[in-house]
């Protein structure tokens, strides 16, 4: 054997692991799309109603709320923090929005709700950054405070807009472009904007840098605390918009709205391939993760299966996604 041949032989084993890691990362990037397509094909063959226009419109409409929350959760996780206040912020901002609608009308009331979500996100981010407490614990405590404030504001009752405002208040349920609801159009626009900001701006690059290695980001001049506060503001605004959609559908708001939905949002982000330790992921994948969860729920309803097992399926998906992330990180070392 010649020296050149020996070098090629010895180099081959070192090239294969790198190639396999790249293939594995591509699986994490696009495996969620393959899974979603597989479910769509299975439901299309199993039921006669899945591909109907009414079901497609309903599917996207149902995905709007969890999709907005998943976008907010993805931004937070990319930067290395968690947001367990999402559903509480949703409820509190929706309640503030309804009360504002009664006072100043629907357009300004909706704007007030979004502003309230941004302020609540600012408060949450400030608490996390200033306290130095782990974001999981800090946001858990803050979510309890927000739920309590929601109960105080409503006295435990349901709040409604004025009877004369009922039609305009339901604007997010109206059919819009391509017969999709206004809520779906709002969801698509907001997610597209967040996706562009995160993937194609300096702010987005800083989010990834902070999530990947916060100390290195700090030493390079990035203000880590400001980035964390900013992602919580984004998450708060997403929660407020999701709250407006739910309130517009129901024609009211209450303190118990969307309880526990923040966990589904985090699940969607993780299932979509966002690394739970931060620095890796994409908004579109979190949204596809939300769509996957919505598809599972829709499939259970169309097939008449016991929805109790839906939670089992979701839990298995989360474990699988976290396991894949851990395996990929080991292979990359």
pLDDT of residue 29 exceeding 80, the answer is: no
Specify the CATH number for 27-332; select among 1.10.287, 1.20.1460, 3.40.50, 1.10.3470: 1.10.3470
SS3 181: strand
DSSP letter for each residue of 144-157: HHHHHHHHHHHTTS
In the predicted structure, residue 210 carries a pLDDT above the cut 90: yes
Task: Name the token pair of 172.
Answer: 């997010």
Residue pair 62/212 in contact (Cβ under 8 Å)? The answer is: no
If pLDDT is split at 50, 70 and 90, which confidence band does 28 have? Answer: low
- Write out pLDDT tens, residues 30-76: 778 888 888 899 999 999 999 999 999 999 999 999 999 999 999 99
In the chain, where the domains are located: 27-332
Query: What average pLDDT does this structure show over 208-229?
Result: 96
Helix, coil or strand: residue 221 = coil
Tens-digit pLDDT profile for residues 126-169: 999 999 999 999 999 999 999 999 999 999 999 999 999 999 99
CA distance 50 to 281: 30
Between these two residues, 16 and 325, which has the higher pLDDT value? 325
Q: DSSP letters along 243-282, please?
A: HHHHHHHHTSB-TTTTTTHHHHHHHHHHHTT--TTSS---
Is 40 in contact with 291 (CB distance < 8 Å)? no
> 92 near 153, Cβ under 8 Å?
yes
3-class DSSP assignment, residue 211: helix
pLDDT at 23 over 90: no
Q: How far apart are CA 246 and CA 257, in angstroms?
A: 8
- Calculate ∠ Cα 251-253-259, nearest 5°: 125
- The answer, yes or no, to whether residue 266 has pLDDT greater than 80, is yes
pLDDT of residue 33: 85
Tokens of 15: 């090239």
């Amino acid at each position: 054997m010649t020296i050149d041949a020996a070098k090629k032989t010895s180099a081959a084993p070192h090239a294969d692991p790198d190639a396999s890691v790249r293939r594995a990362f591509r699986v994490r990037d696009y495996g969620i799309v393959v899974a979603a397509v597989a479910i769509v094909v299975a439901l299309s063959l199993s039921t006669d109603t899945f591909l109907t226009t009414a079901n497609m419109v309903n599917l996207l409409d149902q995905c709007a709320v969890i999709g907005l929350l998943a976008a907010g959760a993805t931004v937070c996780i990319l930067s290395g923090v968690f947001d367990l206040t999402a559903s509480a912020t949703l409820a509190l901002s929706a309640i503030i929005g309804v009360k504002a609608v009664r006072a100043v009308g629907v357009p300004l009331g909706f704007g007030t709700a979004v502003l309230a979500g941004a302020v609540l996100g600012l408060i949450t981010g400030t608490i996390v950054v200033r306290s130095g407490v782990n974001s999981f614990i800090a946001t858990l405590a803050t979510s309890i405070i927000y739920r309590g404030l929601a109960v105080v504001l409503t006295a435990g009752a349901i709040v409604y807009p004025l009877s004369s405002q009922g039609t305009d208040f339901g604007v997010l349920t109206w059919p819009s472009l391509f017969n999709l609801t206004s809520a779906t159009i709002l969801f698509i626009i907001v997610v597209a904007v967040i996706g562009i900001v995160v993937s194609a701006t300096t702010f987005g690059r800083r989010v990834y840098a902070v999530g990947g290695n916060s100390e290195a980001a700090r030493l390079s001049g990035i203000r880590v605390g400001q980035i964390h506060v900013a992602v919580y503001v984004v998450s708060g605004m997403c929660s407020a918009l999701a709250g407006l959609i739910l309130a517009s559908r129901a024609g009211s708001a209450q303190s118990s709205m969307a309880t526990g939905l923040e966990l589904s949002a985090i699940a969607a982000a993780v299932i979509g391939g966002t690394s739970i330790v931060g620095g890796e992921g994409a908004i579109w994948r979190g949204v596809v993760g939300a769509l996957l969860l919505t598809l599972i729920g829709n499939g259970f309803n169309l097939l008449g299966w016991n929805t109790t097992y839906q939670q089992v399926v979701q839990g298995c998906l989360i474990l699988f996604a976290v396991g894949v992330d851990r395996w990929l990180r080991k292979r990359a070392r």
